[in-house]
Homo-oligomer: A and B are copies of this chain.
């Protein structure tokens, strides 16, 4: 529990191998008869672990608890990769960034804000200028920006949206699902474990792979970087050294994935990690049939 800016924050600990459990949310909210909890924050797709929380079901849990808390969702690594429904799921604030599914450099942040959240912001006492929507809302009415805009990224965004809509969002989601499935098939064929344990929470943006005991993920990552000029994601925090992450989001297709998987498979061999060869073939069989 931390106190910053007069905000009391309560972390509901997880085990890093599951998404947020809707039942836990419902139970916790039911305990809060006085409605002291003002907002629930959930990360849609956890980039560190490859787990995608079930935002719609968590919404149902909040409703079941009949609790008025705001519902805040981070979609940094899920937006434009995995289906997401701000309105349908009655999310109050969705935040996202430009550098993942939108295929742009980092530099743009997005907020989708409900009327309820705007209303709450009016009376918020932790008013940090950085978090204020008011300047932006005022200026946007006239088509301008309150501060220096990242104009180049706005042009990029226009083009990224054009690309996504040309492909069709449903096709974009299906592509990410297909490439993620192929990745998981390769991981399983290697005899390695997906950090995420819940099939319906497997991330279609990235897959975190657990190293066999006694083998360091960062040593493997270094072998692959040095030999094949491919930089895999490191394990963060308590899974440092224990997992490596394979990204398969954004501007990504079948042969980029097979190139990636072949690099992992060769790297596992060079690094002397115990594994079964053939992950690449299993993935290719799946891709050739889908």
Q: Is the beta-carbon distance between A105 and B150 smaller than 8 angstroms? A: yes
- Of the 9-residue stretches A66-74, A192-200, A260-268, which lies at the interface with chain B? A260-268
A3 to chain B, nearest CB (A): 10
The quantity of this chain's copies bound in the complex is 4
Q: Is the beta-carbon distance between B107 and A150 smaller than 8 angstroms? A: yes
CB within 8 A of A259: which of B126, B258, B281?
B258
**Interface hits, A15-39 → B, CB 8 Å:** none
- Of the 9-residue stretches A115-123, A205-213, A248-256, which lies at the interface with chain B? A248-256
Q: Is the beta-carbon distance between A153 and B227 smaller than 8 angstroms? A: no
CB within 8 A of A253: which of B128, B229, B269?
B229
CA distance A230 to B259 in the complex (A): 13
**Interface hits, A93-152 → B, CB 8 Å:** 97, 99, 105-107, 126-130, 148-152
Candidate in A150, A229, A262, A266 with the most chain B CB atoms within 10 angstroms: A262
Chain B residues in 8 Å Cβ range of A258:
258-259, 262-263, 266, 280
- Please name 10 pairs of A and B residues whose Cβ atoms are closer than 8 Å in the assembled complex, sorted by A: A105-B151, A105-B153, A106-B148, A128-B128, A228-B254, A254-B263, A256-B259, A258-B263, A262-B284, A277-B281
